[in-house]
Structure 1
Amino acid sequence: MNIFIVHGISVPLQIDVKMFKMLEVSAFSPFRPLISFQKILEMLEERLHGLSGFQANYISELLKEIRKYPELIEGIESVEEFEKYESVIRVLLADLFPMLLSNNEIKAVTIPYYFNILNLTQRFQRILEEAGPDFKLSLRGLSEQNWFIFNCCFIIKSYFQNKIETTDTPLYIDIPDQHKIMKHYRVLINADFMEILPTKNALMLTDEEITELLDNYDNIELWKAKFPVNSWILKGFSIMNLYDATVENAVSTLKGNLLSDVDEYRFDELTEIFRSIYKLPELKIGVTIFGNFLDRVNVKVIEQKFYSHMVSEANILDCESLFCDETIRQKIMERKFWVISDVDNYKISDEKEERLMLQLKNQNAKSILFVPLIDRGKLLAILELSSTEANDFNTVNAHKMDYVLPFLQDKVTNVISELENEVEAIIQKEYTSIHKSVQWRFKEEAFKYLDSKKSGIEYTLQEIVFKDVYPLYGQIDVQGSSVSRNQAIQKDLIYQIETLAQVFQTIYQKAKLPLFEQKIFELQNHLNELQDVIHTGTELFLQNYLDKEIHLVLQNYQKNSTDRVIKEQIADYFEKVGPLSGLFYKHRREFDESISLINKKLASILDEKQVEAQSFFPHYYERFKTDGVEHNIYIGSSIAPDKDFNAYYLQNLRLWQMQVMCEMENHFRLLQPTLPNELEVSSLILVFGSPISIRFRMDEKQFDIDGSYNVRYQIAKKRIDKALIKNTNERITQKGKLTIVYQTPSEEKEYLGYIKLLQHKKMLDENVELFDVEDLQGIVGLKGIRVGFLYHSDSEIYSDYKSFLTVN
């Protein structure tokens, strides 16, 4: 490295005629490069006018020296010629490459649009040295064709003054460090010192020709015809800056990987991603996935194809036994992360911990980070990060997981949901259309997009966000729907197995074949098992057994038998098998019909009343049918910016919500006697006094809570209906009663006032219960009010309060 002293300051200049090349495209470009320092000369001359004294003298002398070498101004085509001008060039670049920043900045001079690099900072030089002598720089994912068109677009924008955007796509360079961990650097190019000049071979394009090119991006022959090779001169030099974007890139890559199925290949990719995040070349990841999740008694570990520190040196049963231990369970469930910084010196508290530590030592795990993935209080999986060196993980760097934990949580939740639903019917979710209260915002954004397109301006649709809106949530849920559904399945299967046993008894009396006796024995065993509570998968197992074994025997016997009575008995059985009309689906069909009738009736009432409620103050409304009906309402000034929002409108809507819930309960009581299945419902309202933000998710085509703070409300919605009264085993929701969950004394006072009004109007009874709600994961301090409904023969009582609700 050459050193030149400028007024007592050492200025390094690296000129390597071998050069590092980022991209081999020199023979495939519209540009002929001309290395020139004319731009920097012009800047110095302009700067001189405003200076005096020492600075003016310094720049004057520098300009005088540069003018001795007109070739540096006119341009040089060969990098090798730089050596003879070394002393002048390093002085010229001194201001652009301060010595005191050389150990911090990753920076170099580049030959225009060819990315041969020289004059590296010391940090850049160290990075390349650590990458090894065989490493070659290259821009990630940039083909020669794309590079050629990129150069052409630069000419179109700069020389022809077209508004085409050429800098949307970020450029990256991937460079391994000394531990072979791949680091990812974002590339920024400063083109202030370059200018574009046409040669005699350059074509002066018309607006129509430019439009044709922009409409034919993939037609490389057309681009080459309009921009012949070396037909334009790119004069000057550029400065390349890199910044370390390894963590951001790793998180982005992780998100992309999690969108697809995680197989063994993807699992290896995840390992490399976490190695980049933690800068640990020997980092190893594992995952333990759970099936029927932590229920304070049993834990079920799913047999899996991925590596698991928990299962690797133990069998499935041993691993399940490990998590039945209270100490281990608490360490996993009650912490965001469980870090064992030094496995060898860990203070063991019981036998189970000793077994776990021995297991980790056998895998050469000296330091480990356990990340529990929990959803609604259930342990879904444990992500395990280990290192062969002690103290590589600690409670400080564990929080690097904060960047990726939400994506991992979502992925595992989705995977577990798929596993849980393998034996369940697929539930088609009902997607609500864009509500008319917010259509104006979507129309506004669509108009901007269309208007920009007509003007030839590129425009990306912005996300739709409504800030500072107050949420209202309510649900009427069918109580014990899972139990009722299982009971219906149980009754149908018992009837079907009993019928089959009778058919085979009749056949066996006519034909004493051992096979028929075997089938009678199997059916009787299944019948005995069905008398108890059925398990998850029982229906699917028996259906496969009947289809593949029993029905094949019956169909064959029916085809070959001459006994008219038996053939008719078999035919009668198969007639009952049909899921739509068959008697063997009677109770299941009745249950589904009951749920459908309840949902249809309650949803229709809510939809009808919602139309009127919009006249009070416009608000966003959506409702969903599950085993019951739930609804979300958001009200605030951002939804209706042309109106003056006041807290009175929120209070008015809350009272409206309570009255509609009363009417829906009344309608259910009228409907209940007509249902095929005897079902009960419970009603719940969740009060959230703080404003939140909602964002329209394009991928899901619906609004969702926006922001980490607001997630607290979303968590409360998911978990509150299964909550218990504090220090009891009693659910906060009960049939025939309205439960209101809130947090602050002011909310309690507000809702007790509404209750008094509705008691006076004979919609609610006089017995009011106040209680504390058990602490939920991430949410504490919730309180509840519970009050019984008064039922009437019709629902006309709602109309008595129309005048009270209407805002004048």
Structure 2
Amino acid sequence: MRPGLFKEEAQVDTRISFVPFVRFLKEKAQNSNDARSRFYKHIVERFESNPAVLQPLEMEDLDKYKEYLDIVTAAVFPIMTDTDKDVYGIGVPFRFSIFYYSSLFKHLFTENGNGNVAMIPSGISMDKIAQDRRGWLYKQVLERFYGFEMNYDHAIIHHVNSHETGLRRYFKLHLDARFMDIKVKGPLPDLDREMVCNHGGSIEELAEILPLSMFQLEGFVIWTVQDVTRDEMMNYIKNLVLKISADNEAKTYLQLNDALQAVLENKEIAVHVMPFLKVKNKYVLESEFASSSVILGMQGNEKQQQQLYQQLVQYLENHKEPLNIANLDDVSLTLYPFLKFLPHKGVRSFVLVGIEYENELLGMVEIASLESNGLAYQKVARIEYLLPLVTLMLRKSVDIQAARISNVIKQKFTALQPSVEWKFIDAAWQYLHDPEKGKNEIENITFSEVYPLYGAVDVRNSSVERGMALQEDLREQLLLIQQCLERMEKELELPLLEELQFKNQSLMQRISQSLVAEEEAQVNEFLDYEIAPTFRHLYDSYPSLQPMLAKYFDTVNKTEGHVFHHRRRYEESLQRINTQLNEFLEKERDGIQNSFPCYFEKYRTDGVEYNIYIGQSIAQNKKFDLLYLRNLQLWQLTSMAGIARMTHKLQHELEVPLQTTQLILIHSNPIDISFRLDERRFDVEGAYNIRYEIIKKRIDKVHIRETGERLTQPGKIALVYNYAREAEEYRKYIHFLQNKNILLPEIEMLELEELQGISGLKAMRVTVNMDFE
């Protein structure tokens, strides 16, 4: 007995007695309609014939009254009860003390089937045991003396390890108190039904009002035991499913295997659940789960393991019914070659169950026995009710695997387009299964022999327009300051105001012609460090100036302290154009993927630039042909014409009538690109390919050699190229679009100025028909 429990038991005066049992039988015997009433009377007479039996008894006296205990057992338990098969016992009230029990009861609740019966459940805290026992007693008190109906469940779940199998089994212990009297020492206090029944008064509160020492117990209690291993294992597996995560996944599957083995009640039967995971829509072998598999578990031959795995997956995809082999022989191994290593492991009978969800193979359950005919259907069927939970766990493993790969991609790469995501998934999978993970960098992501397409939509003279807006804002603010200073000078005798007025006029004259960065900095310094604090002080000090200065403060931006009207108009106009461009290209990007997968990236400047890469190395499961490249080139020219018309129409809705220019760089030779982890974007590989990148960066402001005119002009599309054959391909597209009246008839063939490190560039320029609908 544990000391804590002994101390609690000592608070309650408890005696063994047959009196409540005899009184119960007397009441039963009075019912003449009960066919057993004569039997009950006979038992009562037998007990009353020996007055000593009706006195309180001690544990050591019970051996003298074994025949009476046998009578109690015969009366209480049905005639069909088998002492070797049924689990029951008779015990002392409010104590974990059993003085009479069936053979199976003793077998289950002793360490080796012999010795003293231990009714204190293992794995349960002392506080929980004490709480449950007090709750049980107070339920009896409240129902018997106060008439309160209590819903307290006083059953105890007890787990034991089977002596035969060594596996854990769960039993629900129930105490029947019908043969127990409760006597009260002294008057009972009043209790509030509302507090006890509706608001669930705690055991601690009851213990203060009704201390255990108030009660005396006489009689005995009947212990009945129900095997609830099935239900407890279901709850246990439910908890495993709820708690499975990337951190505990492998451990959780081991716990699941143990739980299923416990349900089968045979330690010699091995059970293994294994998830089947997919990468790039193909099943991959997860070594962490395969190592403990009955079929796949082996050391040192990964190639053979992979071969068995693919055979296994193929079989399960084609055969939906479980595979049940009662006696593994040469015929079985010929029919099912993926079982070839089972005889080496001593397996003689085997069951294989594929787990599917919505026609998708999620995994398998393996059950193996070292005995021939060791897996009878009745035995294996015991775990059938748990398969829905197994399915749920396998589904969660799929989600966990997808999340793990996604996390690697987000950490190592960036958000990816579906056209290239498969390559990154493959790299992430390899990284996750690299034994040196953490020491080695993730493999470089490269796409070879892809064709590049580059386009740029630029806002014409954006820097000039931005500078003009800034110049107008500064001029407006300086003029407003001049007006304020002139009025202040009339009202205040402050020589400093004259000095501020002189500075203000000087700055106005300097920015009236042009505005350079140095002058902008001087004006901002003047506004922030001289005007702002001076005007704020004068506002606080001279009430007569407050209306004028309040008007000034309302005019300037509250955050910056500057006039921002013209810049806001410019920024809103620029934002409107960029929003339209982004929406247009986003929609177009989704459309061009339908013909052939390609990588499409765009980024904002004072407009939008984009790169497109297309080629066989990007397409995972589709054959590439140059017709897809030509289709994309035609789209590029057509879409640029659409953009030119769209921004031309938008120009009339803008506060600042900004215009756009359209530029295409033609590059007919394939290049190699790789993903740069530092910048999280694709970049070209190799010296020749780098020249392509340099050209992209330098042609946005290139001029025509003969005239000095900027190549890019509003309403036109400029196409830059190196070789005549490149131009010829695009001339076909131009003629086609001219025939459709999307482009106007003329084509300008131009020589471009020499750029730093680049010579020999040429261009074509075509005019967009702005009236095309």
| TM-score normalised to structure 2 length | 0.49
| TM-score normalised to structure 1 length | 0.47
Please identify the structure whose Cα radius of gyration is greater.
2
